[in-house]
Amino acid sequence: MTLEIALVGLAGVLTSAAPILFGVIGETISERAGVTNLSMNGKILLCAMGGFAVALATRSILLGFLAGAAIGGLVALLLAFASITLRQSQVAVGFVLTLLCRDLSYFLGNPVMGTTGPSLSMLSIPFFQDIPVLGLLFFRQDVMTYLSFILVAAAWVFIFRTRPGLMLRGIGERPAAAYVRGANVNRLRYLYTVAGGAIAGLAGPIYSLSVKAGWKGTISGLDGIGWIVLAITIFGGWNPFRAAFGAYLFSLLQWLGLVLQPALPGVPSQVLQVAPFPLMILTLLFVNIGNAEWVERSLSRLPEPVRRRVARALRALKATPPAALGTPFTKE
Amino acid sequence: MQIELRDIRKTFGSVRANAGISLLIPPASIQGILGENGAGKSTLMKILSGFILPDSGDIIMDGSRVVIHSPADAIRRGVGMLHQDPLDFPPLKILDDFILGRRGAVFPDRRKAAREFRQLAAQFDFDLDSEAYVDTLTVGERQQLEILRLLWFGAGVLILDEPTTGISQPQKEKLFATLRKLADQGMTIIFVSHKLEDVELLCSRVAVFRQGELVGSAEPPYETKSLVRMMFSRDLAFTGRTSVPPGGPILSLRGVSLEALRLQIRDVSFEARAGEVIGLAGMEGSGQSVLLSACAGLAQPVSGRVRLGENDVTGLSYHAFMKRGVAYLPAARLEQGLVAGLSLADHFILSEGVGGIFIDRGRAQDLASDRIRTYNIKGAPSHQVESLSGGNQQRMLLALLKESLSLILLEHPTRGLDIESTLYIWSKLRERCAQGAAIVFISADLDEVLQYSDRVLVFFSGRVSPPLPAEGLSVEKLGGLIGGKGWDVLASAAVAHG
Ligand SMILES: Nc1ncnc2c1ncn2[C@@H]1O[C@H](COP(=O)(O)OP(=O)(O)O)[C@@H](O)[C@H]1O
Ligand SMILES: [Mg+2]
């Protein structure tokens, strides 16, 4: 019985990680192309509100999600235009957009605030749902959670195994070299920024139509998540699987905070609420330790076979940002 | 493929990089393009490879006039170019870099590509592991990778811009043999260089550039003197070794062992004394770079001690070495030494720390123009470093060195430079020695090693010779040692001495 409760809780962790995954994968794609989209925090709010309002008005959950993606893509398009075409700072434009989107979501969301609307229902997968343990964990979820699993794998395959994905990495690493190899760098950057924005935009309606159904304005509890998404993208080393690890870790820590609260009455509840953030950062720092120069230096003192094995493990963990991240491209 | 260039013109601001160049390049031959740094060779090649558009002029390929809009357009027409700084992707695996940009199915057949890569590499005797990362390669190996890739992409015209500057003597011979083979198969090869010997050895025809103009051409048998006159329209003076008696030890290594990727160096001991120049000779990747980085605190010895003057600095960081007067000038100029995007003046501000917290623009400007004049750099303080030609970038690196240095470590200090710049750089380095600095440098150019070193350390796949006085060495003997011949004699001689 307690096992079942734990499993249901863990299944909930997977569900609540889904919107973070969409945000992180979207941002990863955009940053792989060399464009940092800092509008994430405001964008999630605006897409959540927009998706909810559309779903409420049309009574169609599907249209709600499409609206979220469309808003996300549109915000990204603004950023792409400002940074690629007008060559303005991505950081500055991103900050302005994030604030603008947040305020817009509160302002425009007033009419639908507090109304109950449609929400995504669970879609159990026949047969699979009856597998012990796994069925409860993985196969009694809603459709967006299933999609989030697929998204992570698909994004990884795309980035690391396909020809366009290889070019995507190329334009973010060394656009001049990618250009020489036939890439229309700026057009591809537009494409991936908007696509990444649309994918990240889906995070909004996943909240407002499923994880935290409804729109409650400033008390929706969504403000701040976008920043976590950006941090996980970086700590995830622009790799979908590592990013997924970060997203699940964060959701797990949040859930543990809730579960442990009754068991630890001495600890102020705020501590447990905030704990996931520093814990998260510590863990991810640890994962990224192979990046540090002093580690490399102390390694060279180890006996060669050991050093080689450790070095290879660290190289696999090592993450470097796309070298051209944030820099505009001109052909000479 | 036959290529004809008609009256190509290109100016950058006030610089006439190409001032009306006409040239006919027949197929199945190796066309040499000779000229000193800044003569406009790279500019013409970038025009032919679609990287930049000419201001005016025509390109005619096999009788029909073409406009080459982009490098991708060029490679579609079969024109592939190897750039001076290889345009590859350092954080990627070699195989990924190899495939990137090649058209085909969404899921590239990696196994097939790897097989074709291995076959191509074997054909050229290039030792590259397709699963290694590009950023672990030397500049020379990155050039090899680019050559293989261009061939694989179907280049019928291969442009090589200063290709021999990155590779060792045997690799160079391998490359030349391959280029000859490709030319025999009907490929058009354009070989850009400022090295007379390479051009004379390889090319079926040479065009000489000077200050953006085509000033002459020649066919074998070449007359070196007349080529030099065309290149420079003046005679050059040599500054050889000066015999300043060496002072006290500046750098000393005792029983240093190092371990690198595919290489182990055992038990190296030597001293560099004030005023002395030590040359490190060997094929690329024989251990010179690792040893040099150990002298800079960038690689840590697994055993042995490193001393700077009186201090034991084993295991300290590069920063600590720098504070003790060590300067390190790596081979990849733009990647490690200079900051692309910053102007010349900015570089002086960074290296000199002009004016505390607030930047004193005026003083920085004065300092920059002063140094630019002293070091004869062709550029203005406001120019960005990446717009400088290779020789000027190297001068810039020298100009950035602090006034008081005890040890200067250089990797290929004159790679890619013409004779005039080389002489100039060495005269400046000699001045440093006269002021009491020691110099340790790596060069693939045996003549340079013999001409400027007081003593030479020879490297052969991780083996390191004791310091050999340069006077007692000849090109033949040094070349033999680099190729692994004559080491037994060396060992017994060392025992007899020791
Ligand atoms: N992108 C550029 N912007 C400004 N000046 C340039 C640029 N490229 C080349 N130049 C200038 O044009 C001249 C010819 O350069 P280049 O063709 O690189 O010479 P080479 O290859 O013969 O050494 C040099 O004076 C160089 O400074
Ligand atoms: Mg050049």
Q: What is the pLDDT of residues B299-357, one digit of tens each?
A: 889 999 999 988 999 989 888 998 899 999 887 766 667 888 888 888 887 776 655 66
**Distance of alpha carbon B452 from its chain centroid, rounded?**
18
Return d(Cα B127, Cα B51) in angstroms, integer: 30
Q: Are B299 and B321 in contact (CB under 8 A)?
A: no
Q: What's the gap between Cα A187 and its chain centre?
A: 24
Q: Which residue of A has its CA nearest to B261?
A: A308
* Element (DSSP H or E) covering residue A2: helix A2-32
Distance, in Å, from the CA atom of B128 to the CA atom of B117, rounded to the nearest integer, reads 9
Q: Does A194 fall in a domain? A: yes
Q: A30 in a domain, yes or no?
A: yes
Our answer on whether the CB atom of B35 is closer than 6 Å to any ligand 1 atom is: yes
Which residues of chain A are within 8 Å of residue B291 when distances are taken between CB atoms?
none
Q: Is the residue at A26 inside a domain? A: yes
- Residue B123 or residue A188, greater confidence: A188
- Mean residue pLDDT of chain A comes to 88
- pLDDT for B236: 47
CA B297 to chain centre: 23
Q: Which residues of A touch B103 (CB under 8 A)?
A: 182
Q: Say what the ipTM of the complex is.
A: 0.85
Hey, what are B70's tokens? 């982009």
Q: Does ligand 1 lie within 6 Å of residue B38's CB atom?
A: yes
Q: DSSP readout, B156-200? A: SEEEEESGGGSS-HHHHHHHHHHHHHHHHTT-EEEEEES-HHHHH
Between positions 299 and 318 of A, the ones with CB within 8 A of B are 300-301, 304, 307, 315
pLDDT at A292: 66
Cross-strand pairs, B303:
B257
Q: How many degrees, rounded to 5, is the angle at CA B339 between CA B333 and CA B342?
A: 135
Between A220 and A295, the more confident residue is: A220
A202-230 pLDDT tens trace = 999 999 999 998 898 888 888 889 998 99
Q: Is there a domain that residue A201 lies in?
A: yes
CA distance B363 to B110: 56
What CATH architecture is B249-325+402-496?
3-Layer(aba) Sandwich (3.40)
Residue A163 lies in a domain: yes
Is this model's pTM higher than 0.90 or not? Answer: no
pLDDT tens, position by position, A106-141: 999 999 988 888 888 888 888 888 888 888 888 888
More confident residue, A179 or B395: A179
> Which residues does chain B have with pLDDT short of 70?
84, 165-167, 232-244, 261-262, 333-336, 352-359, 491-498
Q: Which atom of ligand 1 is nearest to the CA of B42?
A: 21
User: Cβ neighbours of residue B191 under 8 Å, at least 6 residues apart?
Assistant: B30, B31, B32, B33, B160, B163, B179, B198, B199, B202, B203
| Residues A30 and A238: beta-carbon distance below 8 Å | no
Tell me which amino acid residue B281 is.
A
The C-alpha R_g of chain B, in whole angstroms, comes to 23
Q: Give the number of the atom of ligand 1 that is nearest the alpha carbon of residue B52.
A: 1
| Domain range B3-232, CATH class | alpha beta
pLDDT tens string A242-254: 899 989 988 998 8
Please tell me chain A's helix, strand, coil percentages from 3-state DSSP, rounded to the nearest 5. Answer: 75, 0, 25
Strands across the sheet with B29-34, in order?
B79-82, B157-161, B188-193, B29-34, B205-210, B213-218
What is the pLDDT, as a whole number, of residue B174? 79
How many separate domains does chain A show? 1
Domain ranges (residues) in chain B:
3-232, 249-325+402-496, 339-401
**Cα B466–Cα B467–Cα B472 angle in degrees, nearest 5:** 115
Tally the residues of chain A. Answer: 332
Domain annotation covers residue A240: yes
Task: Identify the weakest region by mean pLDDT among A143-157, A307-321, B333-347, B395-409.
Answer: A307-321
A140 is in which domain, residue-wise? 3-244
Among all residues of chain A, which has the CA nearest to that of B76? A182
Q: Ligand 1 within 6 A of B447 CB?
A: no
Residues of A in contact with B264 (CB under 8 A): 304
Q: Output DSSP code: residue A211.
A: I
The SS3 assignment for A81 reads helix
For residue A305, tell me if it sits in a domain: no
